[in-house]
Amino acid sequence: MPRKTTNQFFGHCKLLLDSSYQLIYVVTWEEQRFLERFQEYFKAPNIYHWSCVSGLQPWGKDKIKKSTVNPIDALDTIINLPMDSIVVFKDFHKTLEDHSVVRKLKEVIASPILGERKIIILSPVLYIPVELEKSLTVLDFPLPSFQELNELLYQLVTSYPYNQRTKVTLTSKEKELLIDAARGLTYQEARKAFKKCFHDDATLSAKDIETVLEQKRQAVRKSGFLEYFHAKEEETSVGGVNQLKIWLNERGNAFTQEATDFGLPDPKGILLMGVQGCGKSLIAKAISNMWKMPLLRFDMGKVFGSFIGSSESNMRKAIETAEAVAPCILWVDEIEKAVSGMAKGITNDGGTSARVFSTFLTWLQEKQDPVFVVATANQIDQLPPELIRKGRLDEIFFVDLPNELERKEVLEIHLQKRKQNEVGFDTAVLAAKLDGYSGAEIEQVVIAAMYKAFFEKRTLQEKDLVEAIEETYPLSTTMEEEIQALRKWSIYRARKAS
């Protein structure tokens, strides 16, 4: 689903209003920006706005309609306004918790006296009482586009009070990266981030890209659904999975204009399924650094809300934020937990899970922005078949327990990571003893052996590692049946990562 620009949004909004859609619910955090752009676009003389503090007011005037602070009185007053009036109710979601207000709103929009007057509810939260579910249309106001952010930056640079001593040392590419760093922020968040760059040292330079990125990390984190994950893992942090690495390296430059000119589509994403502890999440982090793209961790379980429509709205917000940050990696860890029960048709939420997941699947199929999805799963039988069919994701990879060469590589990675690589361990012999161990279990063997050596105040020895191996019962033993079932499932359905 291509992300709408602000002008496209208002074009769609105008179409609805001209088509006699009398009740529209706009979801946005940017109340003031919406109102200003709405007035600019429509240039209508009879725009009113309401709040629980100021009551009903004509746009651009301080004149208050007396006794309209009460929402029912405000709704009663609408029919006395000019016939072409548009009334914007701000933060009306809390008011809709009052059944009498809901009843009054239903009566107003159903009344022929309303005529061509229109009502817009403006709120950062989508709350739809069941009585209004079929009576309104929901729109999501888009975040600022690259062009809007570029104009904002230019405005700040040229009008800043200290512009005489504000030096701009950005190259055209660095300027593009700075503006890209602000994508996903609201207009005011971007404004604050840019001004912070100026205040720092009266210079706008390449180092300010990190300043803006930090602001974006904060904004993404506050969404509640996404986490801006600062990955440190590189390709060399991942042992084995050479076939997957080849696949990823072949697509590392696919998000470029050169690839587009060649006729290539943007890669959509992959599903990594397999044995627990074999590095699926580690791979997601490594891709971020391999492709030099930001990593967003998406907790899909958090999108589910208690109000009608809120879960679907939350999913759209998460998608919109990811698209605004694009190009990026969207990491959905253990996706089966978010859709548990759907594969077998067992849900007790009135279809909310199905609608939310349908929104996600449709986006996977239709998305235009360069968002590469990395979904991980341990229990494939809990995934709906719609997710794993071709077209939504590029490939499904099965990540199995590491073979002997891979175990040797993983062991050496963890010894080096913990500054134990200078000791002369026979990693080939140790790898043979680690048969059936996952990457996470190999790491824990190293840690357990180091604890013993540290406690005895000596250097790590090979015998410590051997003892730790002998004291560990790997998942290949405790979950043998489940692992065999995973391997059987993957034979004709997934590519081997190794």
Based on the fold, state whether residues 216 and 242 are members of the same structural domain.
Answer: no
As a whole number, mean pLDDT of residues 1-10 equals: 77
Instruction: Band the pLDDT of 346: cuts 50, 70, 90.
Output: low
Based on the fold, state whether residues 394 and 421 are members of the same structural domain.
Answer: no
pLDDT digits over 98-139, tens only? 999 999 999 999 988 888 899 999 999 888 899 998 999 999
Q: What phi and psi, each to the nearest 5 degrees, are found at residue 333?
A: -85, 135
Based on the fold, state whether residues 118 and 242 are members of the same structural domain.
Answer: no
As a whole number, mean pLDDT of residues 162-166 equals: 56
Based on the fold, state whether residues 373 and 433 are members of the same structural domain.
Answer: no
Residue 287 forms part of a structural domain: yes
Instruction: Determine the 3-state secondary structure of 458 from DSSP.
Output: coil
Based on the fold, state whether residues 242 and 364 are members of the same structural domain.
Answer: yes
Assess contact for 393 and 270: CB atoms under 8 A: yes
pLDDT at 182 > cutoff 50: yes
> CATH number, domain at 467?
1.10.8.60
As a whole number, mean pLDDT of residues 380-409 equals: 90
Number of domains in the chain: 4
Distance from C-alpha of 370 to C-alpha of 367, rounded to nearest angstrom? 8
Exposure b/e, 126-147, CB count within 10 A at least 16 = b: bbbbeebeeebeebbbbbbbee
Based on the fold, state whether residues 188 and 260 are members of the same structural domain.
Answer: no
**Domain end point (choices 399, 419, 435):** 399
62 compared with 377, residue with greater pLDDT: 377
As a whole number, mean pLDDT of residues 360-383 equals: 89
Size of the chain, expressed as the number of residues it contains? 498
Instruction: Band the pLDDT of 174: cuts 50, 70, 90.
Output: confident
pLDDT at 405 > cutoff 70: yes
Burial class of residue 448 in the structure, from the number of CB atoms within 10 Å of its CB (0-12 exposed, 13-18 middle, 19+ buried): middle
Based on the fold, state whether residues 25 and 160 are members of the same structural domain.
Answer: no
* pLDDT computed for residue 66 by the predictor: 65
pLDDT at 379 > cutoff 60: yes
pLDDT digits over 326-337, tens only? 889 999 999 988
The secondary structure element, H or E, covering residue 109 is: helix 99-110
pLDDT digits over 190-210, tens only? 999 998 888 777 788 888 888
Question: Chain-wide mean pLDDT for the chain?
Answer: 88
Q: Say what the pTM is.
A: 0.76
Distance from C-alpha of 484 to C-alpha of 23, rounded to nearest angstrom? 55
As a whole number, mean pLDDT of residues 440-447 equals: 97
Instruction: Band the pLDDT of 1: cuts 50, 70, 90.
Output: very low
pLDDT digits over 257-270, tens only? 888 889 999 999 99
The pLDDT > 70 percentage for the chain reads 94
Based on the fold, state whether residues 135 and 190 are members of the same structural domain.
Answer: no
Residue 494 forms part of a structural domain: no
pLDDT at 10 > cutoff 90: yes
> CATH number, domain at 290?
3.40.50.300
pLDDT at 443 > cutoff 90: yes
Domain boundaries, position 172: 146-222
Residue 485 forms part of a structural domain: no
As a whole number, mean pLDDT of residues 391-415 equals: 95
pLDDT at 161 > cutoff 90: no
Based on the fold, state whether residues 45 and 109 are members of the same structural domain.
Answer: yes
Based on the fold, state whether residues 252 and 385 are members of the same structural domain.
Answer: yes
As a whole number, mean pLDDT of residues 208-232 equals: 85
**Domain end point (choices 163, 197, 222):** 222
The secondary structure element, H or E, covering residue 295 is: strand 295-298
pLDDT at 232 > cutoff 50: yes
**Domain end point (choices 399, 429, 448):** 399
Judging by DSSP bridges, how do beta strands 371-377 and 395-399 pair with one another?
Answer: unpaired
Residue 337 forms part of a structural domain: yes
* pLDDT computed for residue 464 by the predictor: 96
pLDDT at 63 > cutoff 70: no
* pLDDT computed for residue 176 by the predictor: 87
